[in-house]
């Protein structure tokens, strides 16, 4: 089962806001939805999906296990609770949201439990998120590279994460890029804006197309129906080699998702 190139992110969206976002996204053509236990919106995402009328077998749902649920039994119980909230008996993809801070829970324990969740049919695929090269190596030793569907990491023109991405590609592990628009910062960049003008596209479409052309999956979020529909059109935008080279110069190591208490030692 391949990971869809384009999905809807739901980070920071709660209550009626996330219900409306998911409903509108499904209505304009999205079929992949990304959520997480720590987002505290799985129940609303499940409600929006249930009310959408879209057949379950057309959807690709991803959730992520939070660090408080890493012990074996807690992980399995928490995933079952996520499924209850999402109103489904399985998800297509379950990720470990962050590596266990200071290895408080051994990686073998939580990845082993995640593999067990797959064998029980609770999730079709498993993967990781925010893992460094060293941590991904460790995960490969535990699971095998072929068992890791993706590493979901922050990637945008201001944080191009080249060393980690090169390693993942070498291992055959798919890259899912989050925060592809850097909370809107890259939309104001004159280089991005000039490329957008040349292509009669939006800056968001340019940033997303840049990621898609490198083979990454993207999961941008939006609360506006027009933006949701517009973002989806990035899949049809083809940037030139010159465009890609110009965007490559924008990398400045500008990391946005870096929670002090849980972030690893980044590559």
Q: Which residues are catalytic?
A: 39
- What's the distance, CA 143 to chain centroid? 20
- Please provide the distance, in angstroms rounded to a whole number, between the alpha carbons at the two ends of the chain: 29
- Residue 47 near residue 76, CB atoms below 8 Å: no
Catalogue the E-assigned strands of 47-162: 60-65, 91-96, 123-129, 148-154
Name the one residue in this structure whose structure tokens are 């384009």. Answer: 6
Strand, coil or helix: what is 150?
strand
Tokens of 152: 């979901």
């Amino acid at each position: 089962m391949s990971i869809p190139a384009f999905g809807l992110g739901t980070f920071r969206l709660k209550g009626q806001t996330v219900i409306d976002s998911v409903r509108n996204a499904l209505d304009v053509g999205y079929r992949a939805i990304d959520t997480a236990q720590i987002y505290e919106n799985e129940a609303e995402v499940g409600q929006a999906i249930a009310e959408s009328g879209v057949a379950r077998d057309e959807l690709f749902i991803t959730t992520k296990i939070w660090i408080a649920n890493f012990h074996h039994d807690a992980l399995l119980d928490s995933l079952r609770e996520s499924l209850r909230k999402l109103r489904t008996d399985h998800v297509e993809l379950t990720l470990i949201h962050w590596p266990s801070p200071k290895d408080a829970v051994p990686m073998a324990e939580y990845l082993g439990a995640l593999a067990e969740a797959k064998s029980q049919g609770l999730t079709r695929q498993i993967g990781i998120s925010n893992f460094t090269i060293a941590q991904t190596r460790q995960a490969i030793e535990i699971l095998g590279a072929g068992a890791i569907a993706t590493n979901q990491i922050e990637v945008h023109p201001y944080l191009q994460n080249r060393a980690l991405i090169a390693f993942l590609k070498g291992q055959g592990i798919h890259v899912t890029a989050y925060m592809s628009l850097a909370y809107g910062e890259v939309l104001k960049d004159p280089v991005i804006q000039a490329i957008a003008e040349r292509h009669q596209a939006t800056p968001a479409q340019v940033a997303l197309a840049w990621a898609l052309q490198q083979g990454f999956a993207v999961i941008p979020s939006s609360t506006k129906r027009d933006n949701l529909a517009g973002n989806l059109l990035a899949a049809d935008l083809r940037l030139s080699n010159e465009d890609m080279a110009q965007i490559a110069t924008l990398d400045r190591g500008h990391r946005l998702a870096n929670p002090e208490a849980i972030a690893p030692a980044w590559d």
